[in-house]
Amino acid sequence: MDRRSLLHASPAAALILSELGAPAQTAAPEADSVSRESIREAMALLGLSFKEEYLDQMRANIRRTQTAIGALRQRPIPLDTDPAFHFDPLLPGMESPKPTPFLTPPPRPARRFGKLEDVAYWPIPDLAALIRARRVSSKDLTRMYIERLRRHNETLHCVITITEDLAMEQAARADSDLRRGRYRGMLHGLPYGAKGLFATKGIPTTWGAEPFKNQTIDANATVIDKLDKAGAVLIAKLSMGSLAMGGLWFGGMTRNPWNTEKTSSGSSAGSASATAAGLVAFSIGTETLGSILTPSRICGVTGLRPTFGRVSRAGAMSLCWTLDKVGPICRSAEDALLVLRAIEGPDGKDITVQSRPLGWNPAAPVKSLRAGIVQADFDKLSGERKTIAEAALAALRKTGLRLQPVALPVFPVGSLLMILNAEAAAAFDDLTRDGGVETLTSQKDNDWPNSFRSARLIPAVEYIRAMRARTQLMMEMKNLMAGLDVIVTPSSSQLLTITNFTGHPQMSLPIGLINGEPEAIHLTGRLFEEGKMVRAAKAFQDATNWHRVPPPGFG
């Protein structure tokens, strides 16, 4: 965040800080509600102590600010209204990627299959070959996936709404376009699912939360429109943790196809679960602090969280304006980049989205990539987890990738979580104050209701300090990535948290099973250079088979 952005944030900082001395309310309080004792208690919560005469001096300012807070609370502010500042992962002086072509893989010959359901786990290029050769119609492929959704959802609880009418309309159009010689690309006619926080005109957009079960938004999210333009077919709004936390939503706990006694994690819970179970050709999720990568790891699929500012969030539920990202969850790294190609780029709505080249050359040798490994993180592993990770690293090295040891920044990154908590509480401020959070299914200590209430005690001064510390972390990551194209870590690495705050792209790759459940490694790339990261991921997946293994019982 630059200096001008901080200056824009300062009025809000003053409002939130002063609010600590007063209870949450809409109307301005009575003048005598601001006592010396109430100010002293509020300051004590923050570890501050001021002289008595200063406490008296503060009272008039606090009253004025309370009046301003009351006035602002009377003004409706829709959730999709961004703050007057925004996060940019590129620091001053950082060069953007040089323009390079995106080389779409050549069409594959259509493979043979028995019954149509045999293709449920096929990667995007193979499904695309069937559609393009008209060996299978989009309508038939769509019916097959919808039938699988209906059959397995009772076990997985991964679907909020099956969008059958829309899907059959889009599939019919895809078939008609193809008959007329209009082929839109690799996603033409392929059925997909979207996390339940993306707006879809005329279809409920529930955010997985009780207060919004019947919410309908009269517009499409940008990602939905871009996939429609690419010819993809939306067959389901998939489950998500309530207001994008965890796997629990108003329809139950989304399950992991590899162990249906366990959750698929979250918050892109349904997207990972449905993709892993072969219920969609691919899916779209979002991530604020692990919500694509973590369920992808747990469900054994390939998740790609792009660079912050690569994909528009317009029409998606806002949680944290400086942290939210949109990305694909797929069966392979190549699939993920093909989907990213369709959804990336500016739309004139999300001001954080930048027009940066997305290069891709899968034929380029991976030995030309500069790769790092956080060996210290791998050294912390033990038992079967360590054995599987070492086998994955051996496979990576066999592709020609040369891994040089690197060290992560020594930084109290956990302290930056107050940024997430403060922004999320601001996003759902109205819901907190009108008691709507009390209707959410989960009310435990670590759930949103308690977090939203507690975050009222994060002063804006400290939020801005955390943002300044975040800039320091970005600088340290800039130095770390200066000589690297990709970094390899275990899924347990702190780099997952670091990169969410710095905006770097990251992806999760399945590498094996431990007691029948998936394990993964993570790859981290340079800002706006997802193509190089995916090149390493594809080389690994071409040499291994874990991304092709379906969970038992869903074949």
DSSP structure string for 181-221: T----TTTT-EEEEETTB-BTTBB--TTSGGGTT-B-SS--
CA distances 20 to 24, 25, 423, Å, are 9, 12, 16
Number of C-beta neighbours around residue 543 at 10 A: 12
With the C-alpha atoms ordered 282, 284, 290, 295, is the resulting torsion angle positive or negative?
Answer: negative
Catalytic residue IDs: 195, 267, 291
Query: Which residues, at least 6 apart from 58, have a Cβ–Cβ distance to it below 8 Å?
Result: 39, 50
pLDDT at 73: 84
CATH of domain 118-350: 3.90.1300.10
Three-state secondary-structure class, residue 224? helix
DSSP-assigned states of every residue in 389-444 = HHHHHHHHHHTTPPEEE-------GGGGHHHHHHHHHHHTHHHHHTTGGGGSS--S
pLDDT at 59: 86
Phi, psi of 339 (to 5 degrees): -70, -40
Write the single-letter amino acid at 520: A
Query: Which residues, at least 6 apart from 74, have a Cβ–Cβ distance to it below 8 Å?
Result: 26
Q: State the Cα–Cα distance between residues 331 and 76, nearest whole angstrom.
A: 42
Where do you find CATH 3.90.1300.10 in the chain? 118-350
Phi, psi of 364 (to 5 degrees): -65, 140
Q: State the Cα–Cα distance between residues 472 and 397, nearest whole angstrom.
A: 33
Count of helix runs (H) and strand runs (E) in the chain: 18, 15
pLDDT at 32: 56
| Secondary structure element (H or E) that encloses residue 520, with its range | strand 517-525
Q: What is the pLDDT along the chain (555 residues), one digit of tens a residue?
A: 333 332 333 333 333 333 333 334 444 444 457 888 898 898 888 888 888 888 888 888 888 878 878 887 888 888 888 888 889 999 998 887 888 899 988 889 999 999 999 999 999 999 999 999 999 999 999 999 999 999 999 999 999 999 999 999 999 999 999 999 999 999 999 999 999 999 999 999 999 999 999 999 999 999 999 999 999 999 999 999 999 999 999 999 999 999 999 999 999 999 999 999 999 999 999 999 999 999 999 999 999 999 999 999 999 999 999 999 999 999 999 999 999 999 999 999 999 999 999 999 999 999 999 999 999 999 999 999 999 999 999 999 999 999 999 999 999 999 999 999 999 999 999 999 999 999 998 898 889 999 999 888 888 989 999 999 999 999 999 999 999 999 999 999 999 999 999 999 999 999 999 999 999 999 999 999 999 999 999 999 999 999 999 999 997
Q: Which residues of 31-43 are buried (b: 16+ CB within 10 A; e: fewer)?
A: eeebeeebbeebb
